[in-house]
């Protein structure tokens, strides 16, 4: 399959078996698997940005309550 390089060679994507798309870093390490090429590129760019800013592990966690208030 043909390699498509993005962002000055920071990563590349390839179409794999069953139409899935994988992105790889410069060393050939798999980063993201997605259903379309566009989703793969977008998610990989987001991932690389988080790694660069060192904010990947600082995700905000939200919790929700399933309790219904009031009388029924």
Give 10-residue mean pLDDT values along the chain (72 residues): 79 92 92 94 91 73 72 66
∠ CA(51), CA(55), CA(57), 5° rounding?
100
Give the pLDDT confidence score for residue 61 in this predicted structure. 63
| In a domain? residue 66 | no
Structurally, the chain folds into a number of domains equal to 1
| In a domain? residue 22 | yes
Pinpoint the alpha helices (H) of 1-65: 37-53
Which of 2, 26, 25 lies closest to 14, judged by CA? 2
Give the pLDDT confidence score for residue 1 in this predicted structure. 64
Cα dihedral sign for 7, 10, 16, 18? negative
Give the pLDDT confidence score for residue 72 in this predicted structure. 62
| In a domain? residue 64 | no
| In a domain? residue 21 | yes
Q: Are the C-beta atoms of 45 and 61 separated by less than 8 Å?
A: no
Half-sphere exposure of 51 (CA within 13 A, CB side): 9
Containing domain of residue 20, as a range?
4-53
């Amino acid at each position: 399959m043909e390699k498509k390089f993005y962002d000055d060679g920071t990563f590349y994507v390839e179409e794999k078996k069953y139409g899935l798309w994988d992105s790889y870093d410069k060393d050939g390490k798999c980063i993201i698997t997605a259903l379309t090429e566009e989703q793969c590129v977008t998610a990989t760019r987001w991932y690389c940005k988080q790694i660069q800013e060192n904010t990947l592990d600082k995700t905000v966690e939200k919790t929700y309550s399933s309790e219904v208030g009031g009388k029924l």
